[in-house]
Amino acid sequence: MSTKSNFVELRDTSKIWAIGSIHSNIKSFNGIKDFILNNFEKKDKLIFLGNIIGLGKSSKESLTSVLDLRFKLMSKFRLKPDSIIFLRGAQEEMFSKILQLQIAPNPVEIINWMFDHGVDKTLNSYGFTNDEVIDIASSGTVAISKWTSKLNKLILQNNGHKDYFLSLKHAAFSASKKILFVNRGVDITRPLSAQNDCFWWGYQNFSKIDEPYNSFLRIVRGYQSNKNNNLEMSKNTVICTLFKQPLTNNMIYFGTFSENGEILDLFEFD
């Protein structure tokens, strides 16, 4: 997996597959996995739009299944690494902060906030209980450092997991610069290189965008916080959202797109 840049430009592309937030819903994802394995073509690209982990009970298993799909597609079609892209979502961002908990000024507050947002489920899947982590967070820098070292070792025991967390991208776009893929949003007043963390935390009123962002005629995202979303309506607007609230919704949304921003097809798996 390449770590050279936070952005990926998609070249020599037939169609682009994009999968919205999975949130550890391994049952639905495995249905998508079989569908993609049966319909993917050599010049296709595949983008996971972030939030593979979190909220559900099967974070570790879901990530392993996602990486297995990557391996099978790369082996079958002899794909280059940048043919399958993983974007950073809020769940991955929060989990990466937990791996640095020893340098946090207020670790207990951070842990409690993250647990309120579903990160505890990812830690549970790696074998830690909520009470154990909260106790560690209040035990001082040395104890926290030992715990984060243990967590890193557990991640390393799962093939590809460490590489995944180290290789997450901020955004991807076609060579034509007409379609942009992000996790949650962009600040339309800034260029891509100056977005900071808008990609996964979002930008105020982003959902109301009704005209292109620079040259991008279409922005495809994998998560939104509001409840107003209709996949059919997405065909007629700049933004296509492959996610639908509430968070208890087990549906996973994905679609195929042309490099010029056209929506080729939209799917939902439960």
The helix or strand, by DSSP H or E, that contains position 183, with its residue range, turns out to be: none
Global pTM value = 0.95
Asked whether residue 232 carries a pLDDT value surpassing 80, the answer given is no
Residues 6+ apart with CB under 8 A from 38: none
What total number of domains does the chain contain? 2
> Are residues 180 and 77 part of one domain?
yes
The whole domain housing 134 covers 93-156
> Are residues 147 and 62 part of one domain?
no
> Are residues 215 and 82 part of one domain?
yes
Tell me the C-alpha distance between 45 and 173, whole Å: 11
> Are residues 240 and 116 part of one domain?
no
* Mean pLDDT score, 9-23: 96
**CB–CB of 217/105 below 8 Å?**
no
> Are residues 152 and 97 part of one domain?
yes
| pLDDT tens column, 235-270 | 778 999 999 998 888 899 999 999 999 999 999 998
> Are residues 77 and 31 part of one domain?
yes
CB atoms within 10 A of CB 15: 19
Reported as a pLDDT band with limits 50, 70 and 90, residue 234 is confident
> Are residues 34 and 114 part of one domain?
no
Tell me the C-alpha distance between 243 and 230, whole Å: 9
Asked if the structure places residue 262 within a domain, the reply is: yes
Reported as a pLDDT band with limits 50, 70 and 90, residue 3 is very low
Handedness of CA 171, 98, 94, 16 (dihedral sign): positive
